[in-house]
Structure 1
Amino acid sequence: MKAVKARSTAIALAGILALSACSGTTSAETAAVVDGRVITEQEVREATSQINRAFNPQQPLTAAQTLTLLIRAPYINEAAAAAGRAQSESAARAALKDFPETPADSTVEILQAEASLQQVDDAGRQELTKKFAEIDMKINPRYGRFDPQQASLVATSPNWLVPAAPAASAPAQPAQ
Structure 2
Amino acid sequence: MSSRNTLVRSFHDVGLAAWFGGSLMGAVGLNSAAASVSSPRERLAVSSVGWKHWAPVQWAAMAAHGIGGAGLILGNTERLALQREGRVNTGVKLALTLVAVGASVYSGVVGMKMGANAGEPVEGTTEPAEGTPDELASAQNQQRILQWVTPAVTLILIVLAAQQGEQQRPEATGGRLQRLFKR
TM-score grouping bracket, smaller chain normalisation: under 0.3
State the TM-score, normalized to the length of structure 1.
0.24
Higher RCO by CA contacts (8 Å cutoff, separation 6 or greater): 2
Larger Rg: 1
State the TM-score, normalized to the length of structure 2.
0.23
Q: Which is strand-richer, 1 or 2?
A: 1
